[in-house]
Structure 1
Amino acid sequence: MLSMTTLRYAYYPGCVAQGACRELDLATRAIAPRLDIELIELKQAACCGSGTFKENSWLLEDTVNARNIALAEALELPLLTHCSTCQGVIGHVDERLKEFQRDRPDYVNSINQLLEAEGCHPYRGTTEVKHLLWAIIGDVGLEQLRLRVTRPLTNLRCAAFYGCYLLRAQRTLPFDHPTHPSSLENVFDALGATAVEYSGRTQCCGWPISSYATPAAFRMAAQRLQGAIAAGADCIVTPCPLCHLNLDSRQPEIEHLIGEKLNLPILHLPQLIGLALGLAPHLLGLSKHVVSVEPVLAKLA
């Protein structure tokens, strides 16, 4: 194995990867040692709220996620997410509070008083919140990733699906552009896969409205799936488990609504990376999807 300094992160799995998308947690943990990554799980962390806390109270959202960030600060490690929604929410809170430390210190002090009253570490603004995609690009590096590929994904045509929160929830993106991203496509290239361009890759999957406007959400998802299929994609790859849920687990219902068979596999980002690193499909939870990934595995075989 190529030598590289071990990268250590305070790992924030999030709710979905410990529930409906357990394969995401499985795949993240599986690829970590292959990339010289050590994950220190934040077992005391709370749900980020998926952006809903602030509908009732900004103070609630900021306090809950200040606590999550403070747990990572106590370890003197960056907080690593693998969910676009978690990244967007926690990353945005971190941005806000770092600005408020300068402009509204009384507000940050009020949050820390709440945290300290519960015996929690105070928020200091001394670390960063980083999605797995940013860690791969900025810390591991695309060249190191390329060197570690043992099973190049030759001839596999991958359509990126970024999701809303990863690109547009934070004011600044470390390794990408909010409307013209390329980070996922750069990862595909490093893995030997071919990136497929289509207009829906930066648009919403429909998940946020799926609980109260289900047909509209399904039509939105159908447009993304149909766009990727029309562009010749063998699969969609997403860094967001909520997007994965809408595009994969709801795909049979989407097909029923639109009267069209789609059958497009949806992969989590670490699953695609794991395949290129030579990991067996069962170690990546690829049997847990609603839409079979067998066409992808057959193409790689």
Structure 2
Amino acid sequence: MTLKYAYFPGCVAQGACRELYQSTGALTQALGIELIELKKASCCGSGTFKEDSQLMEDTVNARNIALAESLNLPLLTHCSTCQGVLGHVDERLKEAQASDPAYLEKVNGLLKDEGCSPYKGTSEVKHLLWAIVGDYGLEALSEKVTRKLSGLKCASFYGCYLLRAQKHLPYDDPYNPQSMERVFETIGATPIFYRGRTQCCGWPLSSYAPSQAFQMAGNHISEAIDSGADCMVTPCPLCHLNLDSRQPEVADTIGRKLGLPVLHLPQLIGLAVGIEPKELGLERHVVSTRPVLEKLGF
């Protein structure tokens, strides 16, 4: 049976991290996963809407989830921040169905006023990582591997939103996750463990406290390098912006030469299933991915 999802690409993957959008499309096509893109979806708010109004965050994202529900499909995102926000809203509204139906009626009333479908609580919000590990399965993934990433040492960077924004995390331990490491092993790479892999990247601070944000990112990158990593791999485009796009500024802030390539998760898996680097957008990074490709024999 073909896996099918309502695809919520989010904002960053369609702008500053276009290579994530590109590589997700290439990977899911190679794996035979069908994505129906939600063209009418709006920004999840990345956690900022609730600073003004919890009702606004809930209503905007109830609409996004309702778009997936109208297709009778789970909602798939490749952004940890989107997963955290959408998943948390979905959890809260499902709880409201039982404990506070008046609040859910208020949310759906606002959706009705805008001509939108109501939120029903019938779809699941799922990150690409969870879809690969939980739905597709690592055994099936191993059968698709045509290029073992042998000798490549990969440091995961989960960040915080993917792991701890929701009350329940059905696929992993929020404080000692193993999902990305299991993926690395499945495609032949070697996982590198280091302290900062489950901590915040610093991106939320970067607009008003850049030095502190860059110090946080620098600590994580330095730890990964000192642990022997050839690259860092993240399931979040916002983490990618702070760890890759701003790595030159990060290096200046901490006074250390860095140069650690930071890959999006679908880029790494894509290399293992035979997709060429150009198709994965690996030339778009600020920190060159050439050392990774050379180590793999490209």
> Secondary structure of 2:126's partner?
strand
| Matching residue's letter, 1:104 | D
- Tell whether 2:273 aligns with 1:281: no
Instruction: Look up the match of 2:96.
Output: 100
Deviations 1:101-148 (A, max 9, x none): 000001101111111111111000001000000000011100000111
1:269 pairs, out of 259, 265, 269, with 265
Q: Would you say 1:168 and 2:134 are equivalent positions?
A: no
> Which secondary structure does the structure 2 equivalent of 1:122 belong to?
coil
Structure 1 residue 259: deviation in Å?
2.0
Cα distance in 2, alignment partners of residues 262 and 205 from structure 1: 16
Deviation at 1:260, TM superposition (A): 1.4
In 2, Cα distance between the equivalents of 1:33 and 1:205? 30
2:237 aligned residue = 241
Separation in 2 of the partners of 1:291 and 1:155?
20
Shifted more, 255-264 versus 285-294: the winner is 255-264
Secondary structure of the residue aligned to 2:90 is helix
Measure, in 1, the Cα distance between the counterparts of 2:131 and 2:254.
38
**2:295 aligned residue:** 299
Alignment of 1:216-227 (within 5 A): 216-227=212-223
Number of the residue aligned with 1:179: 175
Task: Return the offset for 1:43.
Answer: 0.4
- Which 4+ stretches in 1 moved above 6 angstroms? none
1:1-301 aligned within 5 A:
5-301=1-297
**Distance in 2 of aligned mates of 1:199 and 1:150:** 32
How many matched pairs? 297
The offset of 1:35, in angstroms, is 1.2
Aligned-pair identity (%): 68
Q: TM-score, normalised by structure 2?
A: 0.99
- State the 1:226 CA deviation: 0.3
Match of 1:32, SS state, is helix
State the alpha-carbon separation in 2 of the partners of residues 174 and 136 from structure 1: 14
CA distance, structure 2, for counterparts of residue 271 and residue 136 of structure 1? 14
CA drift of 1:52 comes to 0.6
* CA distance, structure 2, for counterparts of residue 45 and residue 279 of structure 1: 29
How far did 1:166 drift? Answer: 0.2
**Deviations 1:197-254 (Å, cap 9, x if unpaired)?**
1001011111010000000100000000000000000000000000000000000111
In structure 1, give the amino acid aligned to 2:293: L
For 1:50 and 1:150, the matched residues in 2 are separated by 36
> Separation in 2 of the partners of 1:62 and 1:47?
12
- Cα distance in 1 between the residues matched to 2:188 and 2:202: 30
TM-score with structure 1 setting the length: 0.98
RMSD: 0.5
Which residue type is aligned with residue 145 of structure 2? V
5+ long unaligned stretches in structure 1: none
Gapped regions of structure 2 (runs ≥ 5)? none
SS at match of 2:34: strand
Letter in 2 for 1:86: C
